[in-house]
Structure 1
């Protein structure tokens, strides 16, 4: 079913099942992985663009934002490819969620600015730790 080596799907599921055998633990991971990934994309928005690639300008609700091809984009790209290699069907959904986190973090980062985004990034995980 899976491939050999790093992207051996059966091996990953066996490890995940052995490590996360509690259904509440599994649910918590499924819910909170994406906000953590979002905050990583949010802070990486402020890294400089790589390779002088052009930026993509978008406008939503009257706010203009630039999608930068920086370290955050390449993190999303690596994770998206990894998830698709694990399982094309479920991995495609995870890849779309990764892309959504990147685009949403670009909008939030451009709206908040650097100094306020740092405060949100430090406060955001604390809220989840308190309620989980």
Structure 2
């Protein structure tokens, strides 16, 4: 299966996502997974010596692993299909910028108003912890001006991000286990590259097809449907042979 063979990749994806409810579930959850992953990657070190984009007096946009991942996704989607690919690349860029701003604010404001009491109760421990772990925290974190109070909020913010990841992945597994007529393992277990790299583009393509009847080229969806039907039939035959 060629890396840029959109028809084969989309047919493989379609064979695992044939139920409309499961398709909608993936449309809802796939892009938030990418967004929250970029929030986590925001706290990775810069790739170059001068890797920040100044906005006012603060460095919000950092050319780090999150940016590198965004570029890979964007270029790959454009390589799959220029029209939908450019839209997907733009959405990836929006996710990177939005996640950068959110991550930048995590250490300052997120959950602070709701967590004022726990902070007061843990204030002494936080100061002790802050001094003890100062050497272990990367320098670029301190360069951002994080105090113990900020790190406390950062902790809760990242916890929210991780919970979001858990909810999104759980929702997709439920979509496969509950709504798909053909009970087979999610594509994640058979094709990691598709699950992490191609899924955002495929759910966008599903949305464009449903809303506007978009096709990368004439006859695309007819060919994909034929391949999906053949893939499902092959899977059923293999399962039947194992049972017999």
For 1:41 and 1:50, how far apart are their aligned partners in 2? 15
For each residue in 1:63-91, what CA deviation from the matched residue of structure 2 results, as whole angstroms up to 9, or x when unmatched?
A: 95520000000011101111111111111
The corresponding residue for 1:119 is: 159
For 2:6 and 2:14, how far apart are their aligned partners in 1? 12
The corresponding residue for 1:72 is: 66
For the residue of structure 2 that corresponds to 1:66, the secondary structure is: strand
For 1:123 and 1:64, how far apart are their aligned partners in 2? 28
The corresponding residue for 2:78 is: 84
Q: TM-score, normalised by structure 2?
A: 0.47
Alpha-carbon RMSD across the aligned residues, in angstroms, is 2.2
Task: Point out where structure 2 has 5 or more consecutive residues left out of the alignment.
Answer: 108-153, 176-244
**1:17 maps onto 2:17 in alignment:** no
1:65·1:106 contact (CA, 8 Å) conserved in 2? no
1:84·1:92 contact (CA, 8 Å) conserved in 2? yes
Q: TM-score, normalised by structure 1?
A: 0.84
For each residue in 1:3-62, what CA deviation from the matched residue of structure 2 results, as whole angstroms up to 9, or x when unmatched?
A: x71110111111111111111111111221111001100000000000223311235xxx
Question: How far is 1:125 from its partner?
Answer: 3.1
Instruction: Report how many aligned residue pairs link the two structures.
Output: 126
Runs (4+) off by over 6 Å: none
User: Could you say which structure has the greater relative contact order, defined with CA pairs below 8 angstroms and 6 or more residues apart?
Assistant: 2
**1:99 maps onto 2:96 in alignment:** no
Greater CA deviation, 23-32 or 78-87?
23-32
The corresponding residue for 1:33 is: 30
Higher Cα Rg: structure 1 or 2? 2
For the residue of structure 2 that corresponds to 1:5, the secondary structure is: coil
For the residue of structure 1 that corresponds to 2:48, the secondary structure is: coil
Task: Point out where structure 1 has 5 or more consecutive residues left out of the alignment.
Answer: none
2:42·2:62 contact (CA, 8 Å) conserved in 1? yes
For 2:16 and 2:46, how far apart are their aligned partners in 1? 37
